[in-house]
Amino acid sequence: MGFLTKIHLLLVKLGALLQTPVLFLIRVYWGYSFILTGWGKLHNLSKVTAYFASLHIPLPQVNALAVAATETIGGALLILGLCSRFAAAALIVLLAVAFGTAESDTVQALLHGNPDKFFAADPFLFLYAAVVVFCFGPGRLAVDPFLFPKPAA
């Protein structure tokens, strides 16, 4: 076995050891952040409704409440690692709509060769965290592995 192969295998083992704690930290940090933003919207629903109305979002009060509830509940589910992929999918949709409405200028900047503006936008890291959980799952320090065991290979 060559030197590079040995190093590669060592890195694979290290990555495997770090996967669960890294996913746990992402879930807890960003889950808590989602709870804070959702809770803030719930307690300032009239301001959020007015903002949504200014963006010409239909049914702004209903959508403001739906966004606030999705962020709050989705964040709690991420922290617990409970129905993580369902929660992440809902949050991804919510953030895609946010980019399409409130952050449409950053999407345009991305499409026209200025990715820095897109990546610096407030929702970007929230979206990134939700995509990571959606793609890789919650890790082993979660409720999901007990609810949804891996099928036998």
Give the whole-angstrom CA distance, residue 84 versus residue 138: 6
Question: Does residue 153 surpass a pLDDT of 80?
Answer: no
Q: Is the dihedral of CA 31, 36, 41, 42 positive or negative?
A: positive
What pLDDT was estimated at residue 150?
82
* Strand, helix or coil for residue 149: coil
φ, ψ at 133 (rounded to 5°) = -65, -40
Rounded mean pLDDT, 38-60: 97
* Strand, helix or coil for residue 68: helix
What pLDDT was estimated at residue 149?
86
Q: Is the dihedral of CA 143, 63, 38, 54 positive or negative?
A: positive
pLDDT in tens, 73-114: 999 999 999 999 999 999 999 999 999 999 999 999 999 999
What pLDDT was estimated at residue 140?
94
Give the whole-angstrom CA distance, residue 82 versus residue 73: 11
